[in-house]
Amino acid sequence: MRTLSPPRPTTVAAAAPVAPRRHRRRGRSTAAVWILVSPYAVFLTVFGLAPAGYALWTSFVHDGSFSGLRNWAAVFDDYRLGEAAGNVTAYLLLWLPVLLLTVLSLAFTLHARPGRAAGALQLVYYLPGAVTGSAAALLWLFMVSPDSSPFGPLLRLLDVRTATDALSGGSLIAVLAVMGVAVHAGGWIVVLYGALTALPKDVLEAAQVDGASAWRTMWHVKLPMVRTYVAFVLISSFASGSQVFVEPTVLSTGAPGQISPTWSVNQLAYVYATQDGDFGKAAALSLAMLAVGLLAAWIVITRTRMYATDTTKAG
C-alpha cells in the first residue's frame, strides 16, 4: 500500500485548483505506467526471476532430492574456496580503485574539451574490451611475454624476464588488474562521458561565469550531477570484479599449469558445474557471489539515494 501525499494547506491559493486534477491523473497514470513497464516486467519474470528461482531451488537439491543446506555446507568446506576468495579480494582491492580512477579521470578530462578528438579517443580506450575469445588469449599472453610484447621495455624495467615471471606470485594479481582495467575501463568511460555531455549546459556555464576553476567545477558541480552514474559504475564493477572469470581463464588458456583453474570464486563454480557436474554446488556458490554483490549494491544505493525521484528528493 502506498500512502497518499499529505493534503496541502488550503492557505496556498494555487493548491486548490491543482489538487483534484492531480488526483485524477494518478488514476489514469497507473494504467499508463503499467503499459510502459509490463512488457519488461514479463521478461524480467520469465528470463530473470524464474531461472534465478530455479537456481535457488537447485542449490538445495542433491542427487535429485531435497537436501537442505548440504550443498552450501560442502561449498563452504571446500579448501579451494578460501584460496579463491583471497585471490579475488586482493584483485578487487587493486583493480577497483585503479579502474574507478582511470574511468573518472579520463572521462572528465575528455569532457573538458568535447569534440571529434574526444570521440576518437574513446574508441581507442574501448578497443581492448572488444577482443574476446581465443584472440584475447593469444593477445594477452603475448602482451605479458617481455620478448615479444610492445610493453617489453616496461616489463623488463619491472624485472619481469619471462612470461612465467609475469604470471607467478604477486605479479599475477598486478597483471590481471592491469588487464582488467584495459578491458573494462573503455565501456564505462563511454557511459560517463555520455552522462556528462547530456548535462544541462546552463548549469555548467553558470559555474564558469562564477569563475570556478576546472578542478572545482569538476569536483563540486559535475561529479555531484553524475553521482548516480558513478554509483552504477561502482555497483556493476564490484559485482563483475568479485565474479572475475574471463581474465584468469584467458591467461591460463595460453599458459596452462601456471594459474590454478580455480583461481577465482567464479572459476570454482564453473569447475563444479562442468567438471564435477554438480549443479547444486555451482548454484549455491553463484548465489553466495550474488549475496556479496547485493550487499555492496545496497550500501552504494542507500548512500547515494540512487532511487530517488524528483518528488521524493524534494519530500
Partner 1 sequence: MTALSRGARALFLLGAAVFFGLPLLWLLLAPTRTADDLTTGSPLGFGALGNVGDAWSHLMSYNDGEITLWIGNSVIYAAASVVLALLLCVPAGYALAKHDFAGRRALLTLSIVTMILPPAALVLPLYLEMSAVGLTGTVWAVILPLSFYPFGVYLAFLHFQANLPDSLLDAGRVDGASELRLFWSVGLPLARPAIALIAFFGFVRCWTDFFLPFVMLSDDRTFTLQLGLMSLLQSTGAVNNSSGFADLDIHQSEAALAGLVACAPLMIGFVLAQRFLRTGLLAGAEKG
Q: State the cell numbers at 138.
A: 593469444
- How many residues at the interface with partner 1, by CB under 8 A? 113
- Rounded-to-integer distance, Cα 212 and Cα 217, Å: 6
Q: State yes or no: residue 14 binds partner 1 (CB under 8 A).
A: no
Site residues for partner 1, 63-92, by CB under 8 A, read: none
Long-range contacts of residues 209-212, Cβ cutoff 8 Å, at least 24 apart: none
Residues 6+ apart with CB under 8 A from 161: 146
Q: Binder to partner 1 among 16, 49, 93, 101 (CB under 8 A)?
A: 49
Long-range contacts of residues 11-15, Cβ cutoff 8 Å, at least 24 apart: none
Q: State yes or no: residue 208 binds partner 1 (CB under 8 A).
A: no
2 versus 11: smaller Cβ distance to partner 1: 2
Q: Binder to partner 1 among 19, 81, 138, 221 (CB under 8 A)?
A: 138
Q: State the cell numbers at 311.
A: 518528488
Site residues for partner 1, 262-281, by CB under 8 A, read: 266, 269-270, 273, 279
Residues paired with 62 in a beta bridge: 65
- Rounded-to-integer distance, Cα 239 and Cα 202, Å: 36
- Rounded-to-integer distance, Cα 55 and Cα 72, Å: 13
Q: State yes or no: residue 203 binds partner 1 (CB under 8 A).
A: no
Give the SS3 label for residue 61: strand
- Rounded-to-integer distance, Cα 253 and Cα 141, Å: 9
Q: State yes or no: residue 248 binds partner 1 (CB under 8 A).
A: no
72 versus 125: smaller Cβ distance to partner 1: 125
Q: Binder to partner 1 among 131, 173, 212, 223 (CB under 8 A)?
A: 131
Q: Binder to partner 1 among 75, 137, 166, 218 (CB under 8 A)?
A: 137
15 versus 135: smaller Cβ distance to partner 1: 135
Q: Binder to partner 1 among 36, 69, 101, 299 (CB under 8 A)?
A: 36
Site residues for partner 1, 285-304, by CB under 8 A, read: 286-287, 289-290, 293-294, 297, 301
